[in-house]
Amino acid sequence: MAVELGHLESLRFRGTSAEVTPVAPPPPPGPGEVLLRPTHLVLGSLDRRILRGEVPFAGTLGRDGLFIVHDAGPGVDASLIGKRVVIEAFVSCMSCDVCRGGLRHLCLARTAHGLLRVDGLGSTLALAKATSLVEVPATLGTDQALVAQSLAGALHAVRTASLDSRGFVTILGDGLIALLAAQVAATINPTVRVLGRHPDRFTLCERLGIKHRHVVEVGRRHDQAVVLDCTGDGSTDDLLLAADLATPKARIVVKAPPVRLPLASSRGRADALAAFASLEASIHGAGAGMVRDAINFMLRTRVNTDVVLTRRFPWDRCMDALDALHDRRSLAVVIELPRAA
Protein backbone atom coordinates (compact mmCIF):
# COMPACT_ATOMS: atom_id res chain seq x y z
CA MET A 1 0.00 0.00 0.00
CA ALA A 2 1.11 3.54 -0.67
CA VAL A 3 -0.13 4.82 2.70
CA GLU A 4 2.75 5.51 5.11
CA LEU A 5 1.93 4.16 8.55
CA GLY A 6 5.15 4.93 10.42
CA HIS A 7 6.24 2.45 13.06
CA LEU A 8 3.66 -0.11 14.09
CA GLU A 9 2.39 -0.48 17.67
CA SER A 10 -0.06 -2.62 19.61
CA LEU A 11 -1.94 -2.10 22.87
CA ARG A 12 -1.15 -5.34 24.67
CA PHE A 13 -2.42 -6.78 27.95
CA ARG A 14 -0.15 -9.38 29.51
CA GLY A 15 -2.49 -10.69 32.19
CA THR A 16 -1.50 -8.19 34.85
CA SER A 17 -0.54 -4.97 33.06
CA ALA A 18 -1.03 -3.24 29.74
CA GLU A 19 1.47 -1.45 27.52
CA VAL A 20 1.87 -0.04 24.02
CA THR A 21 4.65 -1.95 22.31
CA PRO A 22 6.32 -1.78 18.89
CA VAL A 23 5.34 -4.73 16.71
CA ALA A 24 6.49 -6.24 13.43
CA PRO A 25 4.31 -5.71 10.36
CA PRO A 26 1.53 -8.33 10.19
CA PRO A 27 1.62 -10.87 7.36
CA PRO A 28 -0.35 -10.04 4.21
CA PRO A 29 -4.04 -10.91 4.61
CA GLY A 30 -4.79 -14.53 3.76
CA PRO A 31 -7.87 -15.85 1.92
CA GLY A 32 -11.01 -14.21 3.30
CA GLU A 33 -9.00 -11.84 5.48
CA VAL A 34 -8.54 -8.09 5.55
CA LEU A 35 -5.94 -5.85 7.08
CA LEU A 36 -7.60 -3.08 9.07
CA ARG A 37 -6.26 0.28 10.15
CA PRO A 38 -8.18 1.43 13.23
CA THR A 39 -9.02 5.11 13.37
CA HIS A 40 -10.82 4.78 16.72
CA LEU A 41 -11.11 2.08 19.39
CA VAL A 42 -14.01 1.82 21.83
CA LEU A 43 -13.27 0.29 25.23
CA GLY A 44 -16.05 -0.60 27.65
CA SER A 45 -17.09 -2.76 30.55
CA LEU A 46 -15.75 -6.05 29.14
CA ASP A 47 -12.33 -4.43 28.72
CA ARG A 48 -12.60 -3.19 32.31
CA ARG A 49 -13.29 -6.78 33.42
CA ILE A 50 -10.24 -8.00 31.48
CA LEU A 51 -8.02 -5.38 33.15
CA ARG A 52 -9.33 -6.43 36.56
CA GLY A 53 -8.60 -10.09 35.90
CA GLU A 54 -12.31 -11.03 35.99
CA VAL A 55 -12.20 -12.22 32.37
CA PRO A 56 -9.09 -14.24 31.50
CA PHE A 57 -7.56 -12.73 28.37
CA ALA A 58 -4.01 -11.86 27.40
CA GLY A 59 -2.99 -10.37 24.07
CA THR A 60 -3.84 -7.33 21.98
CA LEU A 61 -6.82 -5.41 23.36
CA GLY A 62 -9.52 -3.87 21.18
CA ARG A 63 -12.96 -5.42 20.63
CA ASP A 64 -14.66 -2.55 18.92
CA GLY A 65 -14.00 0.60 16.95
CA LEU A 66 -13.98 2.21 13.54
CA PHE A 67 -11.56 1.01 10.88
CA ILE A 68 -10.31 1.68 7.37
CA VAL A 69 -9.73 -1.39 5.21
CA HIS A 70 -6.03 -1.20 4.38
CA ASP A 71 -5.64 -4.36 2.31
CA ALA A 72 -7.76 -7.32 1.25
CA GLY A 73 -6.70 -10.94 0.86
CA PRO A 74 -7.63 -13.40 -1.89
CA GLY A 75 -11.37 -13.87 -2.29
CA VAL A 76 -12.24 -10.53 -0.67
CA ASP A 77 -13.88 -7.75 -2.70
CA ALA A 78 -10.97 -5.36 -3.37
CA SER A 79 -13.39 -2.41 -3.58
CA LEU A 80 -13.52 -2.59 0.24
CA ILE A 81 -10.00 -1.12 0.40
CA GLY A 82 -10.18 2.42 1.74
CA LYS A 83 -13.75 1.98 3.06
CA ARG A 84 -14.85 2.78 6.64
CA VAL A 85 -16.02 -0.36 8.42
CA VAL A 86 -17.18 -1.53 11.83
CA ILE A 87 -16.90 -5.06 13.11
CA GLU A 88 -19.20 -7.62 14.71
CA ALA A 89 -18.63 -8.38 18.40
CA PHE A 90 -17.97 -12.05 17.60
CA VAL A 91 -16.04 -14.06 15.03
CA SER A 92 -18.07 -16.96 13.69
CA CYS A 93 -16.84 -19.97 11.70
CA MET A 94 -19.33 -19.45 8.82
CA SER A 95 -19.28 -23.17 8.01
CA CYS A 96 -21.17 -24.97 10.81
CA ASP A 97 -24.88 -25.78 10.73
CA VAL A 98 -25.68 -22.87 13.07
CA CYS A 99 -23.87 -20.34 10.85
CA ARG A 100 -25.34 -21.77 7.67
CA GLY A 101 -28.76 -21.70 9.33
CA GLY A 102 -28.52 -17.91 9.60
CA LEU A 103 -27.65 -17.72 13.31
CA ARG A 104 -23.96 -16.92 13.04
CA HIS A 105 -24.04 -14.83 16.23
CA LEU A 106 -24.77 -18.12 18.04
CA CYS A 107 -22.02 -20.15 16.31
CA LEU A 108 -20.82 -22.67 18.88
CA ALA A 109 -17.24 -22.18 17.71
CA ARG A 110 -17.34 -18.42 17.89
CA THR A 111 -14.52 -16.37 19.31
CA ALA A 112 -14.18 -12.63 19.89
CA HIS A 113 -11.41 -10.16 19.09
CA GLY A 114 -9.75 -8.94 22.27
CA LEU A 115 -11.93 -11.13 24.48
CA LEU A 116 -11.76 -14.83 23.66
CA ARG A 117 -8.98 -16.68 21.87
CA VAL A 118 -8.27 -13.99 19.22
CA ASP A 119 -6.08 -10.89 19.42
CA GLY A 120 -7.95 -7.63 19.53
CA LEU A 121 -7.78 -4.87 16.96
CA GLY A 122 -5.82 -2.33 19.02
CA SER A 123 -2.85 -2.22 16.64
CA THR A 124 -1.74 0.17 13.94
CA LEU A 125 -2.68 -2.66 11.58
CA ALA A 126 -4.84 -5.65 12.52
CA LEU A 127 -6.00 -8.77 10.69
CA ALA A 128 -9.69 -9.70 10.67
CA LYS A 129 -12.10 -11.88 8.71
CA ALA A 130 -13.90 -10.00 5.96
CA THR A 131 -17.16 -11.69 7.00
CA SER A 132 -16.95 -9.81 10.33
CA LEU A 133 -17.02 -6.38 8.65
CA VAL A 134 -19.90 -4.07 7.89
CA GLU A 135 -19.30 -1.00 5.73
CA VAL A 136 -20.40 2.26 7.31
CA PRO A 137 -22.69 4.34 5.05
CA ALA A 138 -21.37 7.81 4.23
CA THR A 139 -24.36 9.41 5.95
CA LEU A 140 -23.44 7.87 9.30
CA GLY A 141 -21.09 9.97 11.45
CA THR A 142 -18.03 8.72 13.31
CA ASP A 143 -19.70 8.61 16.73
CA GLN A 144 -22.70 6.73 15.35
CA ALA A 145 -20.32 4.18 13.84
CA LEU A 146 -18.56 3.90 17.20
CA VAL A 147 -21.74 2.80 18.98
CA ALA A 148 -22.90 0.43 16.21
CA GLN A 149 -21.55 -2.75 17.78
CA SER A 150 -22.97 -1.94 21.22
CA LEU A 151 -26.26 -0.78 19.72
CA ALA A 152 -26.50 -4.10 17.87
CA GLY A 153 -26.50 -5.89 21.23
CA ALA A 154 -28.98 -3.42 22.76
CA LEU A 155 -31.31 -3.62 19.77
CA HIS A 156 -31.21 -7.40 19.80
CA ALA A 157 -32.14 -7.47 23.50
CA VAL A 158 -35.09 -5.11 22.96
CA ARG A 159 -36.32 -7.09 19.96
CA THR A 160 -35.94 -10.37 21.86
CA ALA A 161 -38.28 -8.93 24.51
CA SER A 162 -40.97 -8.33 21.83
CA LEU A 163 -41.56 -4.92 23.36
CA ASP A 164 -44.79 -3.09 22.64
CA SER A 165 -46.45 0.00 24.09
CA ARG A 166 -48.32 -1.92 26.83
CA GLY A 167 -47.13 -2.64 30.37
CA PHE A 168 -44.19 -1.32 32.35
CA VAL A 169 -40.63 -1.85 31.19
CA THR A 170 -37.52 -1.91 33.38
CA ILE A 171 -33.93 -1.93 32.23
CA LEU A 172 -31.49 -3.25 34.81
CA GLY A 173 -28.04 -1.69 34.54
CA ASP A 174 -26.69 1.74 33.72
CA GLY A 175 -23.79 0.96 31.40
CA LEU A 176 -23.32 1.52 27.69
CA ILE A 177 -25.61 -1.32 26.51
CA ALA A 178 -28.27 -0.42 29.09
CA LEU A 179 -28.45 3.24 28.07
CA LEU A 180 -28.57 2.32 24.38
CA ALA A 181 -31.28 -0.29 25.09
CA ALA A 182 -33.20 2.36 27.04
CA GLN A 183 -33.06 4.71 24.06
CA VAL A 184 -34.33 1.99 21.71
CA ALA A 185 -37.02 0.79 24.14
CA ALA A 186 -38.24 4.35 24.77
CA THR A 187 -39.13 4.67 21.08
CA ILE A 188 -41.63 1.81 21.63
CA ASN A 189 -42.85 2.10 25.23
CA PRO A 190 -43.12 5.39 27.20
CA THR A 191 -42.77 3.78 30.64
CA VAL A 192 -39.14 2.68 30.23
CA ARG A 193 -37.04 3.24 33.32
CA VAL A 194 -33.43 2.43 34.15
CA LEU A 195 -32.49 0.84 37.47
CA GLY A 196 -28.84 1.47 38.21
CA ARG A 197 -26.30 1.35 40.99
CA HIS A 198 -24.23 4.41 40.06
CA PRO A 199 -25.76 7.78 40.99
CA ASP A 200 -23.05 9.44 38.85
CA ARG A 201 -24.76 8.00 35.80
CA PHE A 202 -28.28 9.16 36.62
CA THR A 203 -27.48 12.55 35.11
CA LEU A 204 -26.85 10.71 31.83
CA CYS A 205 -30.39 9.29 32.01
CA GLU A 206 -31.69 12.79 32.67
CA ARG A 207 -29.91 14.05 29.57
CA LEU A 208 -31.60 11.25 27.61
CA GLY A 209 -34.99 12.07 29.14
CA ILE A 210 -35.27 8.56 30.58
CA LYS A 211 -36.64 7.79 34.04
CA HIS A 212 -34.17 6.27 36.48
CA ARG A 213 -34.01 4.94 40.04
CA HIS A 214 -31.37 3.42 42.26
CA VAL A 215 -31.92 -0.33 42.67
CA VAL A 216 -32.18 -0.01 46.45
CA GLU A 217 -35.06 2.48 46.14
CA VAL A 218 -37.29 0.47 43.86
CA GLY A 219 -40.53 -1.19 44.94
CA ARG A 220 -40.60 -4.93 44.25
CA ARG A 221 -44.26 -5.14 43.29
CA HIS A 222 -44.37 -7.68 40.46
CA ASP A 223 -45.67 -4.99 38.12
CA GLN A 224 -43.14 -4.97 35.24
CA ALA A 225 -44.23 -6.71 32.04
CA VAL A 226 -40.70 -6.66 30.63
CA VAL A 227 -37.37 -6.68 32.44
CA LEU A 228 -34.18 -6.36 30.40
CA ASP A 229 -31.12 -7.32 32.42
CA CYS A 230 -28.39 -5.28 30.76
CA THR A 231 -26.01 -5.40 33.72
CA GLY A 232 -23.70 -7.59 31.66
CA ASP A 233 -23.21 -10.48 34.03
CA GLY A 234 -26.66 -11.88 34.75
CA SER A 235 -25.71 -12.14 38.43
CA THR A 236 -27.89 -13.94 40.95
CA ASP A 237 -28.77 -10.66 42.67
CA ASP A 238 -29.95 -9.19 39.38
CA LEU A 239 -31.95 -12.28 38.43
CA LEU A 240 -33.63 -12.27 41.85
CA LEU A 241 -34.36 -8.55 41.49
CA ALA A 242 -35.87 -9.19 38.07
CA ALA A 243 -38.03 -11.96 39.58
CA ASP A 244 -39.29 -9.52 42.25
CA LEU A 245 -40.14 -6.90 39.62
CA ALA A 246 -41.79 -9.17 37.05
CA THR A 247 -45.52 -9.69 36.56
CA PRO A 248 -46.84 -13.21 36.02
CA LYS A 249 -46.13 -14.08 32.37
CA ALA A 250 -43.53 -11.32 32.21
CA ARG A 251 -40.81 -11.42 29.61
CA ILE A 252 -37.30 -11.39 31.04
CA VAL A 253 -34.36 -10.89 28.72
CA VAL A 254 -30.83 -11.35 29.96
CA LYS A 255 -28.33 -9.54 27.73
CA ALA A 256 -25.32 -11.80 27.48
CA PRO A 257 -21.77 -10.98 26.37
CA PRO A 258 -21.02 -11.87 22.72
CA VAL A 259 -19.31 -15.09 23.80
CA ARG A 260 -19.71 -17.29 26.85
CA LEU A 261 -17.43 -16.08 29.63
CA PRO A 262 -16.47 -17.83 32.85
CA LEU A 263 -18.75 -16.86 35.75
CA ALA A 264 -17.43 -15.88 39.15
CA SER A 265 -20.12 -17.76 41.02
CA SER A 266 -23.26 -19.75 40.33
CA ARG A 267 -24.48 -19.79 43.95
CA GLY A 268 -28.17 -18.99 44.28
CA ARG A 269 -28.83 -19.11 40.55
CA ALA A 270 -31.21 -22.02 40.98
CA ASP A 271 -33.27 -19.92 43.44
CA ALA A 272 -33.68 -17.20 40.86
CA LEU A 273 -34.65 -19.64 38.14
CA ALA A 274 -37.24 -21.23 40.47
CA ALA A 275 -38.70 -17.79 41.14
CA PHE A 276 -39.10 -17.17 37.42
CA ALA A 277 -40.66 -20.59 36.94
CA SER A 278 -43.23 -19.90 39.66
CA LEU A 279 -44.31 -16.82 37.70
CA GLU A 280 -44.37 -18.75 34.44
CA ALA A 281 -42.18 -15.94 33.22
CA SER A 282 -40.19 -16.61 30.11
CA ILE A 283 -36.49 -15.97 30.27
CA HIS A 284 -34.70 -15.26 27.03
CA GLY A 285 -31.05 -14.75 26.34
CA ALA A 286 -29.83 -12.10 23.94
CA GLY A 287 -26.30 -12.12 22.59
CA ALA A 288 -24.44 -9.80 20.30
CA GLY A 289 -27.01 -8.94 17.62
CA MET A 290 -25.88 -7.86 14.15
CA VAL A 291 -24.14 -4.58 13.39
CA ARG A 292 -26.01 -4.11 10.11
CA ASP A 293 -29.30 -4.02 12.05
CA ALA A 294 -27.86 -1.30 14.29
CA ILE A 295 -26.70 0.75 11.31
CA ASN A 296 -30.10 0.44 9.64
CA PHE A 297 -31.76 1.52 12.91
CA MET A 298 -29.54 4.63 13.12
CA LEU A 299 -30.33 5.55 9.53
CA ARG A 300 -34.00 5.87 10.62
CA THR A 301 -33.82 6.88 14.29
CA ARG A 302 -31.63 9.32 16.19
CA VAL A 303 -29.45 7.72 18.86
CA ASN A 304 -27.74 10.02 21.36
CA THR A 305 -24.05 9.13 21.23
CA ASP A 306 -22.72 12.12 23.21
CA VAL A 307 -24.13 10.72 26.43
CA VAL A 308 -22.65 7.24 26.11
CA LEU A 309 -19.20 7.95 24.61
CA THR A 310 -18.02 9.63 27.78
CA ARG A 311 -14.23 9.95 27.51
CA ARG A 312 -11.81 10.40 24.60
CA PHE A 313 -8.04 10.03 24.47
CA PRO A 314 -5.35 10.13 21.77
CA TRP A 315 -3.33 6.95 21.12
CA ASP A 316 -0.28 8.32 22.97
CA ARG A 317 -2.44 8.46 26.13
CA CYS A 318 -3.64 4.84 25.95
CA MET A 319 -2.69 4.21 29.57
CA ASP A 320 -4.80 7.17 30.72
CA ALA A 321 -7.66 5.74 28.65
CA LEU A 322 -7.36 2.39 30.45
CA ASP A 323 -7.25 4.17 33.82
CA ALA A 324 -10.42 6.07 32.86
CA LEU A 325 -12.23 2.74 32.39
CA HIS A 326 -12.03 2.26 36.16
CA ASP A 327 -13.84 5.54 36.74
CA ARG A 328 -17.47 4.51 37.09
CA ARG A 329 -18.59 7.67 35.35
CA SER A 330 -17.05 6.28 32.13
CA LEU A 331 -19.47 4.18 30.11
CA ALA A 332 -17.17 3.85 27.12
CA VAL A 333 -13.75 5.26 26.41
CA VAL A 334 -12.69 6.20 22.87
CA ILE A 335 -9.05 6.07 21.78
CA GLU A 336 -8.25 8.00 18.61
CA LEU A 337 -5.35 6.62 16.58
CA PRO A 338 -2.94 8.82 14.63
CA ARG A 339 -3.94 9.43 11.04
CA ALA A 340 -1.74 7.80 8.45
CA ALA A 341 0.52 10.25 6.63
Residue 109 vs residues 96, 285, 334: alpha-carbon distances, Å: 8, 18, 29
Q: What DSSP character marks residue 141?
A: -
Kindly state the smallest distance separating residue 156's Cβ from Zn ion, in Å. 18
For residues 81 and 93, which CB has a smaller minimum distance to Zn ion in the complex? 93
- Binding string, 63-82, against Zn ion, x = CB under 5 A? --------------------
Kindly state the smallest distance separating residue 260's Cβ from Zn ion, in Å. 14
Compute the distance between CA of residue 164 and CA of residue 224 in angstroms, rounded to an integer. Answer: 13
Separation of CA 35 from chain center: 22
Stretch that binds Zn ion, among 19-27, 102-110, 219-227, 326-334 (CB under 5 A): 102-110
For residues 38 and 289, which CB has a smaller minimum distance to Zn ion in the complex? 289
Kindly state the smallest distance separating residue 103's Cβ from Zn ion, in Å. 9
Kindly state the smallest distance separating residue 97's Cβ from Zn ion, in Å. 8
Q: Any bridge partners for residue 41, and if so which? A: 65, 335
For residues 131 and 247, which CB has a smaller minimum distance to Zn ion in the complex? 131
Binding residues with Zn ion: total (CB under 5 A): 5
Q: Which of 195, 205, 265 is nearest to 230 (CA)?
A: 195
Q: Which of residues 197-216 bind Zn ion (CB under 5 A)?
A: none
- Binding string, 82-101, against Zn ion, x = CB under 5 A? ----------xx--x--x--
Compute the distance between CA of residue 235 and CA of residue 326 in angstroms, rounded to an integer. Answer: 20
Stretch that binds Zn ion, among 105-113, 178-186, 312-320, 329-337 (CB under 5 A): 105-113
Kindly state the smallest distance separating residue 113's Cβ from Zn ion, in Å. 16
Compute the distance between CA of residue 107 and CA of residue 257 in angstroms, rounded to an integer. Answer: 14
For residues 100 and 166, which CB has a smaller minimum distance to Zn ion in the complex? 100
Kindly state the smallest distance separating residue 94's Cβ from Zn ion, in Å. 6
Compute the distance between CA of residue 246 and CA of residue 168 in angstroms, rounded to an integer. Answer: 9
Residue 54 vs residues 58, 89, 234, 274: alpha-carbon distances, Å: 12, 19, 14, 27
Kindly state the smallest distance separating residue 74's Cβ from Zn ion, in Å. 21
20 binds Zn ion (CB under 5 A): no
Compute the distance between CA of residue 259 and CA of residue 107 in angstroms, rounded to an integer. Answer: 9
106 binds Zn ion (CB under 5 A): no
Residue 268 backbone zone (phi > 0: left; psi -120 to 50: alpha; other: beta): left
107 binds Zn ion (CB under 5 A): yes
For residues 107 and 148, which CB has a smaller minimum distance to Zn ion in the complex? 107
- On the CB side of 189, how many CA atoms lie within 13 Å of its CA? 25
Which stretches of the chain bind Zn ion, using CB under 5 A?
A: 92-93, 96, 99, 107
